[in-house]
A = this chain, B = another copy of it.
Amino acid sequence: MQRLLTSVKRVLQVKKAMQEASLSPASLLPGAHQRFSTVPAVPLAKTDTWPENVGILALEVYFPAQYVDQTDLEKYNNVEAGKYTVGLGQTHMGFCSVQEDINSLCLTVVQQLMERTQLPWDSVGRLEVGTETIIDKSKAVKTVLMELFQDSGNTDIEGIDTTNACYGGTASLFNAANWVESSSWDGRYAMVVCGDIAVYPSGNARPTGGAGAVAMLVGPKAPLALERAGIDRPFTLDDLQFMIFHTPFCKMVQKSLARLMFNDFLSASSNMKTSLYKGLEDFRGLKLEDTYTNKDLDKALQKASLDMFNKKTKASLYLSTHNGNTYTSSLYGCLASLLSQHSAQDLAGSRIGAFSYGSGLAASFFSFRVSQDASPGSPLEKLVSSVSDLPKRLASRKRMSPEEFTEIMDQREQFYHKVNFSPPGDISSLFPGTWYLEQVDELHRRKYARRPV
């Protein structure tokens, strides 16, 4: 009886974690733990009031081990040079073979996060998945992830899947934070998983594909706290030291930041307009409807906002530029990129604005407050150093030709509804530690295996 027995469960929980700690040598190695983990290894004390600074404690990104170069793709598709690389702002696109599906992507990223943080598997009390890559219309991806927790005996994990296009990851993050702040919180961590495989038919949309997943550990005393307090005045981009966006393609993000700046310009006083927003004065009187398609305004806005883009947003696009769109996890890949491109000192005390949205019309504009303490060994410094290998990991992927890419996309289509098969492909082409689809039986049941680390 979940709610009736909350306190009992917690006592058992703590006891179990203690037992595990004494049984499992890995959890006792302070050096190894110290090296990576941003979080304490035992469950947290539950209090009678709202816990403080609930947010992201640890974060892990997964992307496929192969990509196609967008310059190669421009040539292969016979389009003008720069159409994808400059027009879309995309340099490389990650993609999966038939060996990977949304379940395997999420299995991989969850296991990576648990291994990096070296947390015991029963320290997680909520697990929620946001995705729009649906294999089964009824069964949740979360159910598949529960297999990872099986050996620990941790079957008591709240949460299921949430769906609304690219917004699902943010909905999961908010639900997880709400759980930690609610009376049903049992003192354990929440884990939020988001991921998608973005595949388009050959044609204009195809270069905007991508694939990947992000797992986040959510709890109190987080170096990236979701902001709870309201402010009672209008805000502008000046209130945000960094600004990240859901990223269908990178050029769209640059235009989005420019649009936010235009909004600030329109609501600013005349003095401000002159000094801060050079070159925008001519567009003051435009009707709002006319601003959406005005190419002169577009150019002026991009010019006026370029410095701000370089300072506040560009670093967040590192993963998206090199890997493409990952729908629900796109925004959180931007967050990881931002952390990987700045030092803990640069980030400390800043506010990161975030705009998440999904087709089907759900959107949130929210913010993270970065903790002040950036000293060596601080939660922030550990979080930042845990994602610092992102560029190196991206650089270690295998470049595939547009012909090979197209063949694999065709294979994905052929196998989409197939049963009774083992996916073609070489397991050694996956990163070590990657989960992959081993077999689909005649009842559509999927069996997964992991490439050894």
A interface residues, Cβ below 8 angstroms from B: 1-10, 49-50, 54, 132, 134, 136-140, 142-143, 146, 158-165, 167-168, 171, 174-175, 177-179, 181-184, 226-232, 235, 239, 353, 358-362, 364-367
Contacts and interface: CB of A to CB of B under 8 A. Distances in A.
Return the 10 tightest CB-CB contacts between A and B, nearest first. Answer: A7-B230, A139-B360, A160-B164, A183-B228, A6-B230, A178-B182, A140-B164, A181-B182, A178-B178, A3-B366
A183 to B, nearest CB: 4
Contacts of A139: 164-165, 359-360
Nearest to A46: B230
A349 B114 CA distance: 44
Given A161-B162, A174-B184, A1 B167 contact: no
A242 to B, nearest CB: 14
B231 A5 contact: yes
Contact of A177 (B140, B184, B228, B235): B184
Contact of A138 (B228, B359, B367): B359
A229 B8 CA distance: 11
B146 A361 contact: yes
A45 to B, nearest CB: 15
A171 B143 CA distance: 14
A134 B161 CA distance: 14
Contacts of A5: 230-231, 235
B161 A138 contact: no
B171 A182 contact: no
5 contacts: A1-B353, A3-B366, A5-B231, A10-B230, A175-B175
Contact of A4 (B50, B231, B361): B231
Nearest to A183: B228
Nearest to A11: B232
A305 to B, nearest CB: 18
Given A50-B183, A137-B132, A2 B364 contact: yes
A230 B362 contact: no
Contacts of A146: 361
Contacts of A1: 235, 353, 365-367
A164 B137 CA distance: 9
A230 B8 contact: yes
B163 A163 contact: yes
A145 to B, nearest CB: 11
Nearest to A159: B171
Contact of A168 (B160, B181, B239, B367): B160
Given A8-B230, A230-B6, A160 B362 contact: yes
A199 to B, nearest CB: 13
Contacts of A137: 132, 134, 137, 163
B181 A4 contact: no
A174 B190 CA distance: 15
Nearest to A363: B2
Given A174-B184, A182-B182, A184-B228, A4 B162 contact: no
